[in-house]
Structure 1
Amino acid sequence: MPSSPLPSIQEMSVARRESGPYGITQGPDGALWFTLVHDGQIGRLSLDGHHVCHPLDSPSCGPCIITPGPDRALWFTRSRDHRIGRMTTDGEATSFPVPTPGCGPFGITSGPDGALWFTEMHTDKIGRITTDGSITEFSLPTKGAFASAITSGADGALWFTLNQAHALGRITVEGDVSIHPLPTPAAAPVGITRGADGAIWFVEIGAGQIGRMGMDGRIQEFPLPDRLAKPHAITADPTTGGCWFTEWAGNRLGHITPAGEIQEYDLPTPASEPHGLVRGPDGSIWVALELGKLLCLAP
């Protein structure tokens, strides 16, 4: 299937080219919040185009994934100094060290229990942090699995990708863990989201596929037209019932319907390195481009 040009698209420069916009989310204040992984900053973009970047206490802390918390603050992982960060909508930042040294936190999401849950890439653990900064860690029954992204499921549990174990993981709020291997060898899943249909949708960066796991445990995999596109992040779009995803190596944005039909869109700037994406408060799809820009695909 040939890719198509993006309809109604706008790119906005929000930082220097080397800053590395990476994760992006919708904040409780109606703005877009994003991480600058190479500059150690958190950015905010309002829908009128005004943006500001808030420096963290360490320019080399490596902020990665960002999510709104139940306390109306923004929470994010700091993968290089192994801390969990919190920022108010006024730009006031604090951080909390993860107990296990060298853990490399990456994915983070709000859980159904009023806490934040995060993955630890290097130590085979899933972490839980309360809004007052108290951290609990749960060990996985795997070694070298490289836990990556995490999302809250329709079943009241947390679901996460295990990039090097080529599997999905599930953890209850009590800390009970189960592992679900994927059908495709070397799938290397990364991004994960709860779809509008209640299923778990994920990307397989190693196999060039989009996956879906229903709450009945059935796994479906949908190959991309370009198997070398390296899909990276995925987010649900309740307006269509499908999901949007980024193709990091293919320099494209993709959409998949609940039935598995895929449409790809070429990005206007070559080698823009699309990473995180989110549906914004205006209904647009916003994408973090590592070359220092945010991209907006209007509905």
Structure 2
Amino acid sequence: MNEFTERHETVSVRELTVSDAGAGPYGLTAGPDGALWFTLVHQGAVARRDPDDGLATVHPVGDGPTVITAGADGALWFTEYRSHRIGRITPGGDYASFAPLTPEGGPYGITAGPDGAVWFTLGSADRIGRITADGEVTEYPAPGAFPSALTTGPDGALWCTLNQGNAVGRLTTDGRARAYPLPTGGAAPVGIATGPDGALWFTEIGAGRIGRITVAGDITEYPLPDPAARPHAVTAGPDGALWFTEWGSGRVGRVTVDGRVTSYALSRADSEPHGITAHDGALWCALETGSLARIEVRS
């Protein structure tokens, strides 16, 4: 594997090539088997990186796999954006896919729900779906336009970004929805994650900001040093901070719960970092140019 390493005072960034540049590593998650799983959006595949030898096993799936999550059933679930289906793969490689009720819905975000099911967004249809382990699907109207990423909040509800509605939405497991408009116009929120402070944190790809919303709906926004950074995905890190990808600048950013922002360069400004997740005591992000970056925080 080719490797790139950049070191700062307390952070090291190491890049590992896992595919050719055309395959497009996009989303990633820690699997129930201790491995790191990631999607190859342009190759139509899901891959497993072995925790022992680092080798990647590639499994063909449907067209356009994007965001991936571990389900409560011990399998990995992911959205197939271009084939408009929800995919499921076991750690052993058994694959199945399921059609949402709404055709051509453009599934994108996906998360394990508080009720044991998996929840997903249908951005093109302004709907949010729920799927059980055996493939039974229910759908609800989203609280606004173009739901993007979603996550389970500390209040037991589903929280999602409304990319074209310029808002953050909340949906209960029985379908009651509410939207919270953002203070900044054109923010176009995408990624969202629950933070260690009991709030929801999200990226504003259009405004170059990171947002924070409490379960009561109070919103704070933190501008990034580079307004054109185009922050994309966000996750809680093992160091008690939030980490996010800067798709427009080829960097990975970190924001503390009191709003202090730092940023770390990847090997190329055009590396196109997308998904990011905590795994094995570090942060990992997927670079669409063919690599995974491992970001280690040193105490």
TM-score, with structure 1 as normaliser: 0.94
The aligned counterpart of 1:148 is 148
Q: Aligned equivalents of 1:94 and 1:243: distance in 2?
A: 33
Match of 1:39 among 43, 48, 54: 43
The aligned counterpart of 1:82 is 84
User: CA offset at residue 163 of structure 1?
Assistant: 0.4
Q: Aligned equivalents of 1:8 and 1:209: distance in 2?
A: 24
Q: Aligned equivalents of 1:202 and 1:5: distance in 2?
A: 27
Moved over 2 A (4+): 4-9
Amino acid at match of 2:80: R
- Contact 1:5/1:267 (8 A) holds in 2: no
The aligned counterpart of 2:285 is 287
Q: Aligned equivalents of 2:268 and 2:290: distance in 1?
A: 12
User: CA offset at residue 198 of structure 1?
Assistant: 1.1
Q: Residue deviations 1:123-175, cap 9 Å, x none?
A: 01000001110000101354xx1110000000000000000110011000011
User: Number of residue pairs matched?
Assistant: 289
- Contact 2:45/2:60 (8 A) holds in 1: yes
User: CA offset at residue 214 of structure 1?
Assistant: 1.1
The aligned counterpart of 1:274 is 273
- Contact 1:5/1:265 (8 A) holds in 2: no
The aligned counterpart of 1:103 is 105
- Over the aligned positions, Cα root-mean-square deviation in angstroms equals 1.2
Amino acid at match of 1:268: S
What SS does the aligned partner of 1:154 have? coil
Map 1:210-229 to 2 at 5 A: 210-229=210-229
Amino acid at match of 2:215: M
Q: Aligned equivalents of 2:105 and 2:252: distance in 1?
A: 31
The aligned counterpart of 2:172 is 172
What SS does the aligned partner of 1:298 have? strand
Q: Residue deviations 1:7-49, cap 9 Å, x none?
A: 4322111111111100000000111000000010001112331
What SS does the aligned partner of 1:220 have? strand
- Contact 2:59/2:93 (8 A) holds in 1: yes
Identical residues among aligned pairs (%): 54
The aligned counterpart of 1:30 is 34
Q: Aligned equivalents of 1:275 and 1:86: distance in 2?
A: 21
Map 1:30-69 to 2 at 5 A: 30-47=34-51, 48-56=53-61, 58=62, 61-69=63-71
- Contact 2:142/2:177 (8 A) holds in 1: yes
Q: Aligned equivalents of 1:74 and 1:141: distance in 2?
A: 27
The aligned counterpart of 2:239 is 240
What SS does the aligned partner of 1:8 have? strand
User: CA offset at residue 254 of structure 1?
Assistant: 0.3
The aligned counterpart of 1:201 is 201
Q: Aligned equivalents of 1:257 and 1:185: distance in 2?
A: 24
The aligned counterpart of 2:294 is 296
Amino acid at match of 1:96: F
Report which stretch shifted further, 44-53 or 23-32.
Answer: 44-53
- Contact 1:248/1:273 (8 A) holds in 2: yes
Q: Aligned equivalents of 1:138 and 1:172: distance in 2?
A: 10
Q: Aligned equivalents of 1:253 and 1:8: distance in 2?
A: 11
Q: Aligned equivalents of 2:118 and 2:151: distance in 1?
A: 10
Amino acid at match of 2:272: E
Amino acid at match of 1:105: P
Q: Aligned equivalents of 2:196 and 2:34: distance in 1?
A: 21
- Contact 1:240/1:257 (8 A) holds in 2: no
**Where in structure 2 are there 5+ consecutive unaligned residues?**
1-5
Q: Aligned equivalents of 2:37 and 2:219: distance in 1?
A: 32
Q: Aligned equivalents of 1:298 and 1:179: distance in 2?
A: 36
Match of 2:24 among 12, 20, 24: 20
The aligned counterpart of 2:264 is 265
Q: Aligned equivalents of 1:270 and 1:151: distance in 2?
A: 29
Q: Aligned equivalents of 2:197 and 2:14: distance in 1?
A: 29
Q: Residue deviations 1:193-244, cap 9 Å, x none?
A: 000111000000000000000122210000000001000000012x332100
The aligned counterpart of 1:133 is 135
Amino acid at match of 2:231: P
